[in-house]
Every structure is written in C-alpha cells, then in structure tokens.
Structure 1
Amino acid sequence: MKTSKIIDQIKNIVDFVKRQTWFFAALIALLSFIFLRKFIFDIRKVNNLDMQATFHFGDVLLVKKFGISLNTNDIVYIKFPEKDSTAPTTYFFQRLIGLPGDSIAIIDKVVYINGMPIEDTITIKHNYHIKTANAMDSLILARHNLTEGSAISEKNDYSFSLTKFKADSLKRLAVIESIELETEKDNSSDLSCFPYSINYKWNMDNYGKLYIPKKDDVILLDTINIVFYKRLIQDHEKNTLRIKNDSIFINDVLSKRYIVKRNYYFTLGDNRDNANDSRKWGFLPDNYIIGKSIWVIKQTKK
C-alpha cells in the first residue's frame, strides 16, 4: 500500500514537472517572438498607395530592423515625420533615394543623385493624360485595369496613374487618340512642396537641388535658408528656434551656424505623382527608419 502511494506521488511530481516544462517552454517561445518582433524582424502590411505598382495595398512584407545597411533604392518602413497631435502615429513603406551627404534634384520627373540620373524601375508610376475617340465605359476600364484615375472632362479626357509599360500598351488601342505624360512646369512653385517657400520655385516634377544633411555637418544659417532646417533643428533635434529681424536664435543663443546631430535621408513613393514623400515633408531622420523590406511574404495581386 505504501509503495503504491509513493508511486502515485512520484507520478504526480513528474506530471507537475512536465506541466511546468511546457509552461516555461511556451513562455520562452513567446518572449523570443516578442523580442524578434521588437528588435530583429517584423511583418507589416502595405497600408497606402504610395508604392504602387511595386507593392499594392494589403501586400505583406518582412522587415529587417537590426543590423541593416541602407542604400539607394532600398524599400524602407518609416515613421511619418510630420507631427499631428490629433492623429495616431503613421507608418508606411517608401523607396530610399537620398543618403546622408547626397544632393537630390528632379528635372522633368527624372531623379538625379549627385548630378547623375537614376533609372526608374519598371514599376514606377506617373500620371498620364489620355484622350479618347469615345467615352471609356466601366467595361473598358476594368478590362485594362484602369483604376487609379478618372475622367477630367466631358470631352473624353482622362487622367490615370500608369507605369510606362502600361501607357505604351494602351497607345495600341483603337479608342486611344493620345497619351501624354503630365508634367508640372519648371520654375513653377508648388507651396505644398518642402520647403514651402516662394523663394524656391519647386514642384513635384522639378525639385531641388537639395542637399541631404549628415551627422556633424556644419550648416551656415540665414533667414532665407532657415526654411530647410527649421523642422530639423526644432522637432528632430529638440532645440528652440526663434527668428527676430535678421537674427536667428537657437536655444536663445544668436546663431549663424548649426552642427547637425544625426543623419538624414530622402524618400520617394513609386506612385510618383500621388505619393506623400520627402518632396512634401523634407528630410527623414535616421531614427524614423524602422527597417527595410527584405522579402515579400504575401502579394494581393500577381
């Protein structure tokens, strides 16, 4: 009798140890998963149209967050750098174009880095003006996947966001009379573009030349060029900034120069004419880059 009780007690102890082992194994697995998601890798959905046609809304990407090197044309997952206390923090994907120390210019939609043009990938989209012989009904629009755009007049004029390949293929349709790339004129100001100043006649298609600051750069300041660096100094590097007459005060000290404390980048969306990117909000601080895409886990469109 005593022997059977001892055996039962041993079984109970063994069962208890087994349960505890499973618990700790599950706990370790959970903590490892949380650690990986927080510091090493993450899985994120594409949540806007900025990167069409490279990625589509709902695509799922694997993001590497630790030990990354950043290069031109990397797809990065970023925190939206503009402040809005009434809205939640926004994160999204964009293409990295300008690295710290680079100079960026856009001339008639062509992107130049340090004076050299870079070739668009085949998935880059631009807005095209389409003139047709007859109105395009919903069947034609669906057949040719014309979803981002619409009619802009009652005289068979349309504007659609297209890749160059798609635009060239549409030219062969009998209903199409002409397709022309929509381009804003050079030396024409778009005050919704960074740096939001009439002193710089820049727009989405003709932009810059803009230097991307790097850590330890010494920037000479004046009341004209301060429009480029106001947000950098105040918001990203946490200083006070005050302009009085022709003088600039940083942390209440008269300042004619500023030493940059971190690296900055310049990003563009692949849906080039419809993206909310660095042309709209300027420099991207390095601490706003969460990681870069290294693998497409799921595609919503093939």
Structure 2
Amino acid sequence: MKINAEKIQKEGKSTVKDFFQVLIMVSLFSWLIGWRSVVPTSSLEPTIQAGDHIIISKLNYGAITPATPLQLPLIHGYGLDWISLPTFRLPGFSEVEKGDIVGFFYPPEDMPVDLKTIYLKRCVATPGDTIQIKNADVYINGQLMFDDVETQHQFEVFTENGLSKKKLEQLDLYHYDHNNDKTYPSGQRNFIVHISEQKAEVIRKDPHIKKVKSIVSREADFYPATRVPKKGDIVKLTPKNRQLYLPIILKYEDNNAKFVEGKVFIDGKEIKEYEVQQDYFFMMGDNRHNSLDSRFWGFVPEDHIYGKGTIVLFNLKEFDSSRMFKSL
C-alpha cells in the first residue's frame, strides 16, 4: 500500500489549525461572555451549595480586557505576569446591584488582577452606601436590610441522646470534613451547625432535640457603620480608618504610594486626605458564619468585578434534580 506523505502532512496541518481555531473561539467566549465555575465552599449556602457548577456571566456587567494577555487558554490563574496592560471594561447590560451574586477576583492576593482567585459572594452594599452590622442584623443607610433569601447563621444544637446516622440525616445535622463533604457522626450529642433561622425552628420542634442555641460572633455579627467608597470621595486619613483605606491607596489604585512610620506618601509627598479613584463594593456570603468576605478583608474594587452568577447547572456531589438549571 502506497503511503501519501503529502496528504498526511496536509491533514495534520489542518487538524492543528482546526484545534487552534476552536481554542481561540472558546477562549474568546470565556473572556467575553462567561464560563462555568465550580463552587468549592459552603459560603453561599443555602442559595449555592458546595460543588455546584454555575454560570458566571460577563455580559451583565461587561467583560474587562486582560491585564496579563499571555494566560494559558481556559486555565484561570496561570500566565506570564511580566507583561501588564492597562484594562478597561466593555459595556454591559446592568450595574452591580444589591442582592446580586457576584464573581470577583479576590482583592488581597498580591498578583495581577486577572490572575487572582475568583470568589463568589452576594453584594450587600454598593458605592456610597453606609453599612453597619449589629447583632447579625445588616443595616444599609440606617435601614434594616430584610433578606429576600435565606441566610445561615451559627447555632449549637443539643440532642437528648446520641442520634443515629439516619436520624441525623433526617434532621440534616452534619459536619463538613476536610474534603468539604458532609458527615453524620452517630452518637454525638451536640453540634455546631450553620443553618437558617427557619431551619432552626423546624429542628427545635423535633422531640429528640433538647435545645437550639444561637451563637453570636463579635467578628461576624458586628461591623461599625462604614461608608463604602465611591469614586470621587475624599477621605481624611486617620489612625482609626488607616486599615480600611491603606489597601485602596497602596494596592488597588494606580499610585506610587508608600506607608512609612504611620504616614502615607504618594510620589514622595505625605498626604493626609485622599480622593478615591474608583467605585467599591461590600460583599458577604449567605452563610454568615462560614464566609471569608468584606467583613474581614475589606472592599471589592470595581476593576476586580468578574461577572454575575446567573444559573446553577448541577451538583455532582449532592445531586438534586430540582436544583438543576436553577436561576440565581
């Protein structure tokens, strides 16, 4: 049999060409429109479960042009960070609104913006809002925020006797193990759980339950009245607000800034007030006692906004057909 080397070579080149064309098209789709993301933690329970595959849409807020153009296609977080470009946001369908589930680049990480880890939280305050948390109640501009969704808080549950695994599953009293999987330790008599107030009421009524006690956390359930920075705000820098504004001045905005011996310098000159250069947002998880969010590391800059969580596709770890293609 005669081998046509020229034909094989042409077909090989065509295959490689087709592969790169598909790769480019899929990469452009991912950059401009959105992509599927797997949620690794329980910070947005009960709205979003650990293991959920969701769609994060970039069309809503508009995609941001890459800061590091030489990223590996379809593999977030890997790329050559020695090339850095200015970025701008393409037009979107809407602004970030209170109540949106928002994907964003984790601000504290020290790397180019578009190589940072993508977090998913709910926006509870937008630029110019004043947020305060008192005894787990969230106040926006002095008004108590009534949640349209169930939020989870921390409770300690005491049982009359050690319950069987089957009963624990029925009550959904579980722990997360190191793989973020649910475990039901039979025989255990007390549990620290993250559940909604509604679920706590249901558990209280069960005859096997002795007591359900709410746990208040100074770190999670209290936050002083604070204005969320808005572009154009002029803030006076004091020892009290230094921790709040230093990341903005030193890391998130384009300043030649230094912090030396309790003083802030821009271009070598000490400043005592600062004009904010972009909008910021305050993000929180629905699972209030099991979420690392703005209460702990501060505001999310506008240029860190990645996209809007729109649809839960499925969850292979905790499969529930009723949650497939659930709109967020």
- TM-score range (shorter-chain normalised) is 0.7 to 0.9
Is 1:126 paired with 2:153? yes
Query: Could you tell me whether the CA contact under 8 Å between 2:152 and 2:287 is conserved in 1?
Result: yes
Uncovered stretches (5+) of structure 2, i.e. residues with no partner: 1-9, 63-91, 177-182, 321-328
Please give the secondary structure, in 2, of the residue aligned with 1:235: helix
Q: Distance in 2 between matches of 1:101 and 1:251?
A: 28
Is 1:49 paired with 2:42? yes
Match of 1:112 among 139, 143, 148: 139
Deviations along 1:167-199, one digit per CA (max 9) or x if unpaired, are 111111111122122113xxxxx5xxxxxxxxx
Amino acid at match of 1:55: I
Q: Distance in 1 between matches of 2:42 and 2:172?
A: 15
Alignment of 1:54-203 (within 5 A): 54-65=47-58, 66=62, 67=92, 68-83=94-109, 89-148=116-175, 156-184=189-217, 203=219
Measure how far apart 1:282 and its partner are: 0.7
Match of 2:287 among 267, 271, 286: 271
Query: Could you tell me whether the CA contact under 8 Å between 1:122 and 1:165 is conserved in 2?
Result: no
Q: Distance in 2 between matches of 1:84 and 1:142?
A: 42
Please give the secondary structure, in 2, of the residue aligned with 1:205: coil
Deviations along 1:200-222, one digit per CA (max 9) or x if unpaired, are xxx31011211110111111112
Please give the secondary structure, in 1, of the residue aligned with 2:120: strand
Query: Could you tell me whether the CA contact under 8 Å between 2:204 and 2:211 is conserved in 1?
Result: yes
Measure how far apart 1:112 and its partner are: 1.0
For 2:241, the equivalent position in structure 1 comes to 225
Moved more, 290-299 or 115-124: 115-124
Query: Could you tell me whether the CA contact under 8 Å between 2:163 and 2:188 is conserved in 1?
Result: no
Q: Distance in 1 between matches of 2:197 and 2:175?
A: 15
Amino acid at match of 2:46: A
Identity %: 26
Q: CA RMSD in A?
A: 3.0
Is 1:33 paired with 2:33? no
Q: Distance in 1 between matches of 2:109 and 2:16?
A: 43
Cα gap change, 1:157/1:57 in structure 2, threshold over 3 Å: closer, same or farther? closer
Query: Could you tell me whether the CA contact under 8 Å between 2:44 and 2:121 is conserved in 1?
Result: yes
Bigger radius of gyration among the two:
1
Q: Distance in 2 between matches of 1:262 and 1:70?
A: 14
Amino acid at match of 1:41: G
Scaled by the length of structure 2, the TM-score of the pair is 0.72
Q: How many residues align?
A: 267
Uncovered stretches (5+) of structure 1, i.e. residues with no partner: 1-16, 185-189, 191-202
Structure 1 segments (4+ residues) deviating >4 Å = 17-30
Measure how far apart 1:133 and its partner are: 1.8
